[in-house]
Amino acid sequence: MDHTALELIELGAVFFGLGLLGRLAEKIGLSPIPLYLLGGLAFGSGGLIPLTGIEDFTALASEVGVVLLLLLLGLEYSATELVTGLKKSWTAGLLDVVLNAAPGVAVALILDWGLVGALAMGGVTYISSSGIIAKVLGDLGRLGNRETPVVLSILVLEDLVMAVYLPILTAVLVGVSLVGGLTAVGISVAVVGVVLVVALRYGRVVSAIVDSPDREVFLLKVLGAALLVAGFASAMQVSAAVGAFLLGIAISGSTAENATKLLEPLRDLFAAVFFVVFGLNTDPAMIPPVLGWAVVLAVAGTITKLVTGWWAARRQGIGKLGRARAGAALVARGEFSIVIAGLAVASGGVDDRLAALATTYVLLMAVIGPIAARVVEPIARAVGARRTSEQPAMSP
């Protein structure tokens, strides 16, 4: 069969299958993300029917999906709200680092992977998935909730930590000098600072540049700007996701509202591909040997993120239900964890099992995260109602 024809058939089958999985998720009241991941696992390397002709397209489409997820998340908030949230949440950010890096560091040391392996696994278990969390918050209609700015502040702080962590990890892995590592960190921090200043001071100018009364022109300008910012951010060793998020912050007013309406269908399409690619790149044969340790890390990671979100939301005066939702929203791990593991293994300086463990762990957390976000509210309500009913009635 002609190569192009095969690619079109495979791509059509993927999109149609995603539609069916999305419909099934809607019927059972579940986020479609776990089904997308499991679908990718079934048809990826080592799966039931491996799809081999669309790797180039799906790899790029998944990156675009993350960019659009974070761009639309940024469009929901202003630069002032972001800065205020960061000021209030920096202590929660420190707690986040300590609590969530610890399980990965501990397991790496137990498995005798050395300090470099511990540094890599600490990053794997620390960073939440901005892409998955953005999708879940949108699916559950929680973007306007009181606890959501707390969640977003922690996610932005995590991406800022990554701007420092990734250059350090890369320097350690390849044996770069201390000066070279510090230079890379300085460049990353400077890029983030420049984008923040532009978002805060020149938001109206950015909005005017991308705005247009013509829908086609508007779409091309907004999408082009998002990809440009994400690409330049990534080239400077800064998260493409945080670059897209900060661009969304810079676009305000009616321009932001119109951009959201215009980009939502594209976001849903490319985001679905992003989650499928996770599964496609995972060989099911890799899972059994490391499943036990992955489950241990998944349990620990779920608890530590719940504690982080609960504590951060409590500090901002949010009620118990909102605290529980904030913690559950942060549970999912994703794209960054895979990137960190890939860097570590590609360098040849760590145990090859690290990639298998990280992938299995992320797959578990990417499924657990959306489910936890969905079920935490009814569980919290039920627990609250039970405690109320068990309280002794007050005497008249």
Three-state SS annotation for 366-382:
HHHHHHHHHHHHHHHHH
Is the model's pLDDT at 149 over the cut of 60? yes
Lowest mean pLDDT among 83-87, 140-144, 215-219, 273-277: 83-87
d(CA 233, CA 192): 8
Single-letter code of the amino acid located at 341: A
Using an 8 Å Cβ cutoff, are 163 and 96 in contact? no
Mean pLDDT, rounded, of the chain? 81
Q: Which amino acid is at 265?
A: P
- Counted residue by residue, the chain has a size of 396
Top-tier CATH class for 13-47+65-378 = mainly alpha
Q: Which of 203, 84, 65, 86 is nearest to 156 (CA)?
A: 86
Could you tell me the pLDDT band of residue 395, with boundaries at 50, 70 and 90? very low
> What is the per-residue pLDDT across 157-202, written as a single tens digit (0 to 9) for each?
887 787 678 777 777 776 655 566 667 667 767 766 776 777 677 7
- pLDDT at 45 (0 to 100): 65
- Determine the pLDDT at residue 391: 62
Percent of the chain residues past pLDDT 70, beyond the cut: 83
The Cα 50–Cα 38 span in angstroms is 13
Mean pLDDT throughout 66-92? Answer: 76
Instruction: Pick 129 or 386 by higher pLDDT.
Output: 129
pLDDT at 83: 72
User: pLDDT-derived band of residue 239, with 50, 70 and 90 as boundaries?
Assistant: low
Residue type at position 82: L
The DSSP 8-state label assigned to residue 143 in this structure reads: T
CA distance 365 to 104: 14
State the chain's maximal CA–CA distance in angstroms. Answer: 84
